[in-house]
Amino acid sequence: MLKEIYQRQSIRKYKTKPVEQEKIEELLKAAMQAPTARNNQTWRFLVITNRRQLDEMTELQPYTGMMKTAPCAILVMGDKEASADEGYLYLDGAAAIENILIEAVHQGLGTCWCGIWPKTERVEGFQKKFSLPAEYIPIGVVAVGYADEEKPIQNRFDVTKIQYVK
């Protein structure tokens, strides 16, 4: 297995060290290599490094406490106007987020995916706070930084969840 897939885990405590701009760009490049329905490339990204905005994120999404230590977050949005079928918007966004998480491991960074969509109050909260255009739907926000915690890797492989059709 690709070692980055196996090593990825949600990091909820970060060092104060900022994330280098080149590394953030690598994460965004990885995101934009993700597949999208009809190749519509519906994703849009907002890189947040403002300390106050990171500290206040729990007001928009209660389970983003790790942002108080994270030096950076990437808000992944979907542009409704770029999508032929709105349902695909969220799948496109999720695939991009996963690419960010895996590339981050490769860059020596930790991440935590925090859900926004489909919770309406979170979607509206992020839209308002960051003055987003109405057609930009926040899908998830990823904390990014250098990990300040170590956790054992879990092996979740479970043969009982698989069936082979013969």
Ligand X SMILES: Cc1cc2nc3c(=O)[nH]c(=O)nc-3n(C[C@H](O)[C@H](O)[C@H](O)COP(=O)(O)O)c2cc1C
Q: Which residues form the interface with ligand X (CB under 6 A)?
A: 9-10, 12, 63, 112-115
- Shortest-Cβ-distance residue relative to ligand X: 115
Q: Which amino acid is at 40?
A: N
The answer to whether 100 and 30 have CB atoms below 8 angstroms apart is: yes
Nearest distance from C-beta of residue 52 to ligand X, angstroms: 20
Neighbours of 163 (CB within 10 A): 7
Nearest distance from C-beta of residue 107 to ligand X, angstroms: 17
Q: Which is nearer to ligand X, 157 or 164 (CB)?
A: 157
Nearest distance from C-beta of residue 20 to ligand X, angstroms: 23
Q: Which residues pair with 145 in a beta bridge?
A: 110
Q: Which is nearer to ligand X, 19 or 116 (CB)?
A: 116
Q: Which is nearer to ligand X, 10 or 50 (CB)?
A: 10
Residues 139, 10: Cα–Cα separation, whole Å = 17
Q: Which is nearer to ligand X, 6 or 163 (CB)?
A: 6
Nearest distance from C-beta of residue 166 to ligand X, angstroms: 32
Say which residues have a Cβ less than 8 Å from residue 71's Cβ, sequence separation at least 6. 14, 16, 17, 18, 19, 49, 54, 144, 145
